[in-house]
Structure 1
Amino acid sequence: MTDLERAVALLHEGDHSVVLVRGDDVLVSDDRGVAPLVRWVDSGDDLSGFSAADRVVGRAAALLYVLLGVEAVCGDVMARGAVDVLSAHGITASHGTLAEQIVNRAGTGPCPMEAATAGIDEPSEALRAIKAKQAELRAHARA
């Protein structure tokens, strides 16, 4: 079984949100959205060569996967823009459902992280935009 196949199996067996696998190393998160990817980027750990299985992969997540240095990403749902980003960076992309865009949880418009990274192609710039949007959403949640 490949790392990617193992990541996909673990994603569904454990009902996780994201799983990364490289050989015997396995990282798992049940947190929603891009939060686990941001934490892993911020950790500074070398995650190059990992394969990732994720529930939902939009452009924002794809740009974070580029920063993480993964070699393959499989999304249950993946946006066309994510496929483009991953492919442009030499990352193998596979998916269940291919979506035009990732929508917000209410289903009323684009995902806030997708909106925050619209028009951004540089992964480190996307990370800054994502963190700013996360801070804005936290501030609104507290208000």
Structure 2
Amino acid sequence: MRDIERAKKLLEAEGFSCVFTQGDTIYTSRKTGVAPLVEFLSSGINLNGFSAADKIIGKAAALLFVLAGVREVYASVMSEPAVTVLRQNKICHSYGILTPSIENRTGTGQCPMEQAVARIDDPTQALTAIRATMEHLANGRKEDL
């Protein structure tokens, strides 16, 4: 089974929110939003060349996948800006549903992580903006995380 197929199967069958696979190596998370990606990047785990499956990939997550060096991603839901980022960085991608944008958890507006990277195209700058937004939300509106 190809890495991306295994990642997708684990995502759907095991209830993970994010799965990385490469050969016999598998990393998973059940945390929501971009938190798993930020944690993996912060931990120093080398994800270069991995395949990844995620429940939702917006532009913020796409930029983090670029930073991680993944070669292929699948999302149950992917935004159009995420597709643009992945295409520009030559990362193979597929999705179940394509949407114009990613909304916040309450459905009242755009996801705060998407707002944080709206004018950012550099993955390293995106990580800095995402971390700052996560910290801000942790100190205030946790429901948007």
Structure 2 length normalisation: TM-score? 0.96
Percent identity between the two aligned chains: 49
- Aligned counterparts of 2:96 and 2:22: Cα–Cα separation in 1: 22
Paired residues, number: 142
Q: Does 1:23 align with 2:61?
A: no
The alignment partner of 1:140 has SS state of: coil
Structure 2 CA distance for aligned equivalents of residues 110 and 116 of structure 1: 10
> In structure 2, what is the Cα distance between the partners aligned to 1:141 and 1:114?
16
Q: Which amino acid aligns with 1:39?
A: E
Q: Distance in 2 between matches of 1:88 and 1:101?
A: 18
> Is 1:35 equivalent to 2:25 in the alignment?
no
Tell me the distance in 1 between the aligned counterparts of 2:12 and 2:117: 28
Matched, 1:119 2:119: yes
Report what 2:59 is aligned to. Answer: 59
Shift of 1:81: 0.5
For residue 50 of structure 2, what is the aligned residue in structure 1?
50
CA drift of 1:141 comes to 4.6
**Which consecutive unaligned segments of at least 5 residues does structure 2 have?**
none
RMSD: 0.9
Output the amino acid matched with 2:37: L
SS of equivalent residue, structure 2 residue 93: strand
Runs of 4 or more consecutive aligned structure 1 residues displaced over 3 Å after TM superposition: none
1:1-143 mapped onto 2 (5 Å cutoff): 1-141=1-141
State the alpha-carbon separation in 2 of the partners of residues 16 and 129 from structure 1: 25
> Structure 1: which 5+ runs fail to align?
none
SS in structure 1 at match of 2:9: helix
Q: What is the letter of the counterpart of residue 29 of structure 2? A: S
Question: Secondary structure in 1 aligned to 2:116?
Answer: helix
Structure 1: which amino acid aligns with 2:123?
P
One-letter code aligned to 1:104 = N
Q: CA offsets per residue over residues 42-99 of structure 1, 9 Å max, x none?
A: 1122111110010000000000000110000100000000011011111101100000
TM-score (norm 1): 0.97
d(CA) in 2 for partners of 1:44 and 1:90?
A: 23
